[in-house]
Amino acid sequence: MKRVDKQTVSHILEEIGLLLELKGENPFKSRAYRRAARTIRTLPGNLAERVAAGTLDEAPGIGAALSEKITELVETGTLAYHTELLVSFPPGFSELLTIAGLGPKKAKILYDALGIASVGELEYACQENRLADLPGFGAKTQEKLLEGIARRRRYQGRFLFPEALEIAEGIRADLAKHPAVSRVAVAGSLRRCLETVTDADLVAAVSDAETAGAALTGRPEVARIIEQGPTKTAVQLEGGLQIDLRCVDETVYPFALLHFTGSKEHNAALRARARRLGLTLNEYGLFKGNKSLPCRDEKEIYAALGLAFIAPELREDRGEIAAAEAGELPDLVSPEELRGVFHVHTVASDGTATLEELTAAAAERGWQYLGICDHSRSAHYAHGLEVERVRRQWQEIDALNEAGGVRLFKGIETDILADGALDYPDEVLAGFDFVVASIHSYFQLPEAEQTARLLRALENPYTTILGHLTGRLLLARDGYAVDLEAVIAAAVRRKVVLELNANPHRLDLDWRLLKQARDAGVMIAINPDAHDLKGLDDVRYGVGVARKGWLSAGDILNTRSAAEVADWFGRRRS
């Protein structure tokens, strides 16, 4: 039996949605498949167990019919309905639909008019200028499609951090129980909390490398064994992720862990430092001439090099070694230091949880406060709130706040309109405790206009937080063109908080910019942008990125108490 994971199921459901749309079927039907795809992707726990227990249809948007199809897929590895749909299209066609800017309708025109049925054919046709005169296309579209193809090529074979981490952690936990394994850790880009990764690296201290390696190759989700050497075992899993496992002796383990955590650049800088001290550092050990200098853990290796321990997130050769030498490494923020979160959606707009449910969930997480942010009125697609509904929500919040417990702040995620204005008149904006201003439209404005738009939003006295600043979607869409330095400078001057959107598809601001923003003196808020209860926990990815951006609790608004936050919001207005 072929095992099918969440990612594969989600992908197939998504594809069915697209194919149905292409066939001109009822749009509700195709939307239902896409929704189910999203649900499965984010479903907690083990999918096969859910199927076996028959509890799939308890997940939102998964009725009896969908549950039956997913069960077939998980249990048999294929879905007859999907196969039937696929054979009614040329092979490679569905791949075409993964190109940004090419929806099903356009794809059908291209197929009918030019016989384009694959990405390669599309690229060729664009390069040959065949789309320039095609009705509904034109030179500009053609250029965009070429960009989309190039971007897809760049993104291919990469995974979002949480997807890969969940898989790697599962394997790590199993290996940790193996009798031949004394220590095992996730290393590589995952340990460094990089937002997307190529593969998952594991390092283990073992008594017997062969049986430990076999524990990986023998796993049911392994699709292909890539390498089976004396220390290195590499496999590719069903979902496409590659796992590299290095098995070493206990004494070598700290050096192997350090090496395979990387980054390459950090390693190179460390080795150069060792050389300057008359030492040799490599993945096997630290040596003075022929003499090996034993270290029990990474901390001892750094100490031997005259350095304080450098957290994995910082190991990107961006000044961390100099800071470690000078004893000036930041005291990095930890998840426990968050005392609340802002930017949480409710059922009033496009969220799935009520105010009461969110309040209870915040209490469970030990948070003092929660900033409620539904979408503003222009966001029709997300049931943005008209003024009347805003006022009703304020009443509900007042009532809940009366009851005590977790404090709710009245917020809104207002669209930044095309000209940089916010989405409500000032007298309404004045009624919120805080306002998150985000761009959700006109992504394509030229840089100068996009920058001017954001700067205008920053000038607005009611803007408290600037939401997902670049608008990027990881592995799907680049951020919009904007002069980030100008925006960061304005945020400092205007005392506007910059959001670190913790949704794993966004992680926006990027950690590289985050450090820049911190150095410039910007206040940051780690916001989950949660649309359901589970989404609240995305802040842990935000904390990872914040650490990667060198942030301490002091740089982050939501490490402060409810009273301090209220004070900050109030002062911002006066």
User: Helices (DSSP H) in 42-100: which residue ranges?
Assistant: 47-53, 64-76, 80-87, 93-96
Number of residues that bind Zn ion (CB under 5 A): 2
Three-state SS annotation for 357-424: HHHHHHHHCCCCEEEEEEEECCCHHHCCECHHHHHHHHHHHHHHHHCCCCEEEEEEEEECCCCCCCCC
C-alpha to C-alpha distances, 370 to 43, 298, 355, nearest whole angstrom: 24, 38, 10
Binding partner of 529, given Ca ion, ligand DGT, Zn ion, none, CB within 5-8 angstroms per partner class: Zn ion
Q: Which is nearer to ligand DGT, 122 or 186 (CB)?
A: 186
Return the range that interacts with Ca ion (CB under 5 A); candidates 95-103, 188-196, 202-210, 530-538.
Answer: 188-196
**Could you say whether residue 188 binds ligand DGT (CB under 6 A)?**
yes
C-alpha to C-alpha distances, 269 to 5, 306, 512, nearest whole angstrom: 39, 14, 19
Q: Which amino acid is at 211?
A: T
Contact 160, 194 (CB under 8 A): no
* Per-residue DSSP letter, 335: G
CA torsion sign for 356, 358, 364, 368 is: negative
Return the range that interacts with Ca ion (CB under 5 A); candidates 26-34, 52-60, 191-199, 459-467.
Answer: 191-199
Binding partner of 337, given Ca ion, ligand DGT, Zn ion, none, CB within 5-8 angstroms per partner class: none
Binding partner of 267, given ligand DGT, Zn ion, Ca ion, none, CB within 5-8 angstroms per partner class: ligand DGT
Q: x/- site string to ligand DGT, residues 264 to 283, per CB under 6 A?
A: x--xx---------------
Q: Which residues pair with 232 in a beta bridge?
A: 246
Cβ at position 227, least distance to ligand DGT in Å: 13
Q: Tell me the two tokens of residue 513.
A: 């910019």
**Could you say whether residue 197 binds ligand DGT (CB under 6 A)?**
yes
**Could you say whether residue 201 binds Ca ion (CB under 5 A)?**
yes
Q: Tell me the two tokens of residue 209.
A: 């490398």
Coil, strand or helix: which one is 246?
strand
Q: Which is nearer to Ca ion, 15 or 201 (CB)?
A: 201
Coil, strand or helix: which one is 317?
coil
If you search the block for the tokens 């999203």, which residue do you land on? 38
**Could you say whether residue 413 binds Zn ion (CB under 5 A)?**
yes
Q: Which is nearer to Ca ion, 34 or 246 (CB)?
A: 246
Q: Which residue is nearest to ligand DGT (CB)?
A: 262
Q: Which residue is nearest to Zn ion (CB)?
A: 529
Q: Which is nearer to ligand DGT, 312 or 528 (CB)?
A: 312
Cβ at position 262, least distance to Ca ion in Å: 8
Q: Which amino acid is at 439?
A: I
Return the range that interacts with ligand DGT (CB under 6 A); candidates 6-14, 197-205, 444-452, 492-500.
Answer: 197-205
Q: Label residue 291 left, alpha or beta by phi (over 0 means left) and psi (-120 to 50 means alpha).
A: beta
**Could you say whether residue 374 binds Zn ion (CB under 5 A)?**
no
Cβ at position 455, least distance to ligand DGT in Å: 35
Return the range that interacts with Zn ion (CB under 5 A); candidates 1-9, 104-112, 267-275, 412-420.
Answer: 412-420
**Could you say whether residue 559 binds ligand DGT (CB under 6 A)?**
no
Report 463-492 residues binding ligand DGT (CB under 6 A).
none
Q: How far apart (Å, rounded) are the C-alpha atoms in residues 371 and 381? A: 22
Cβ at position 103, least distance to Ca ion in Å: 34
Peptide bond into 349 cis (omega under 30): no
**Could you say whether residue 544 binds ligand DGT (CB under 6 A)?**
no
Cβ at position 264, least distance to ligand DGT in Å: 4
Report 511-550 residues binding Zn ion (CB under 5 A).
529
Interface residue list for Zn ion (CB under 5 A):
413, 529
Interface residue list for Ca ion (CB under 5 A):
188-189, 199, 201
